Structure 1
Amino acid sequence: MTTVGECWTIDVVVPDSGDPPVHERLLVEPLPEVHLRLKLSPALVGGAAAGDIVQYDQATATIQVVSRSGNVCVQMYHRGISTAALAQIEGQVKHAGGSVDGCDSHMLVLTFPVTAGFSSIESYVQALSVALVAEWMFGNVYDPSGEPLGWWT
């Protein structure tokens, strides 16, 4: 773990990422009882979103969600986003109560409150993916076998 201001970073292995495995560095806030709060939704690690409280196993470099924040993570793979387009996306996502948690040359990570509604989130993200010629998936809605996690019910 590395300290960044009041927060730490942890390196988490991306499941099924090959040999050697790929790691994602996640920004977390330390909490009592060895728990951590994710500050941003992960770009590659599935099953969690910003605000979730997790337990980190340093030996296996994995996280286990202890408590859900009520946020939905969207991971989008794109061919590139202009600065102007990103600013527009940030405004639209913020208007829906969400945030852009990460963006690089091929990846965009969005977080929405589940109270925005899955149909609204999906409609927005689907339209965005068409405009950006991108692929996307929910990062914390389905388990690795494709079954809904059901935490929102």
Structure 2
Amino acid sequence: MEDKQSPVLIQVYMADDDGAVREELLARQIGEDTYELLSSPGLAQNLARGDIVSIKDKNAPAEVLKRGGNFCIQIYADYISPEDVTALENDVIRELDGTLDGLCEGVLALAIPAKNGMEKINAFFDKFREKTGVEYYYANVYKNLDDDSDETLLYWWLDS
């Protein structure tokens, strides 16, 4: 049996375009099919660092059992200068008590505590967008992940 305190890499289902697509995330196993996410995803939706999730079906999205209190902010760009990434990471830590959880070329994943409030978070990332021209997205706030035009919010952060 694995040590449930040691970090493990888990596969999180994202899509099934021509075969299942999964993202690998660092997690802590806390039950047979239950994990605490130790990082926010760069591509998968509806998840963030600190969430407790169940993965019983490898071909379906992870079920969120308990929110960890973080928004997952995802940024996609063809290129972001190393200086801008470093400045963003430092500012996120200092101003929002958040973390840069993942970086792969122009894809960034950040965990931002919901206690900051969406207004403050939006203002922060709006400044980043104005400076760099790069858009940001909340990955774990929308109810209907299968319909990009449906912006119905989950409002889980109101309970945090």
- TM-score (norm: length of structure 2): 0.84
**Alpha-carbon contact 1:11-1:24 (below 8 Å) kept:** yes
1:56 is matched with: 55
CA displacement 1:110-142 (0-9 Å, x = unmatched): 111001110111111122123222222101111
**Alpha-carbon contact 2:129-2:135 (below 8 Å) kept:** yes
Number of residue pairs matched by the alignment:
150
**Alpha-carbon contact 2:42-2:74 (below 8 Å) kept:** yes
Query: How many Å separate the matches in 1 of 2:119 and 2:77?
Result: 22
- How far is the alpha carbon of 1:59 from its aligned partner? 3.7
**Alpha-carbon contact 2:33-2:56 (below 8 Å) kept:** no
Mark the CA change 1:59 to 1:88 in structure 2 (over 3 Å): closer, same or farther.
Answer: closer
Query: How many Å separate the matches in 2 of 1:107 and 1:24?
Result: 13
Indicate whether 1:84 and 2:89 are aligned. no
Indicate whether 1:70 and 2:69 are aligned. yes
- How far is the alpha carbon of 1:61 from its aligned partner? 5.1
SS at the partner of 1:26?
A: strand
1:122 is matched with: 122
SS at the partner of 1:124?
A: helix
Query: How many Å separate the matches in 1 of 2:129 and 2:115?
Result: 22
- How far is the alpha carbon of 1:25 from its aligned partner? 0.7
Mark the CA change 1:94 to 1:27 in structure 2 (over 3 Å): closer, same or farther.
Answer: same
- How far is the alpha carbon of 1:58 from its aligned partner? 4.4
Give unmatched runs, 5+ long, in structure 1: none
- How far is the alpha carbon of 1:146 from its aligned partner? 2.2
SS at the partner of 2:115?
A: helix
Query: How many Å separate the matches in 2 of 1:53 and 1:38?
Result: 7
SS at the partner of 2:53?
A: strand
1:151 is matched with: 156
SS at the partner of 2:20?
A: coil
Query: How many Å separate the matches in 2 of 1:123 and 1:80?
Result: 22
- How far is the alpha carbon of 1:33 from its aligned partner? 5.6
**Alpha-carbon contact 2:20-2:59 (below 8 Å) kept:** no
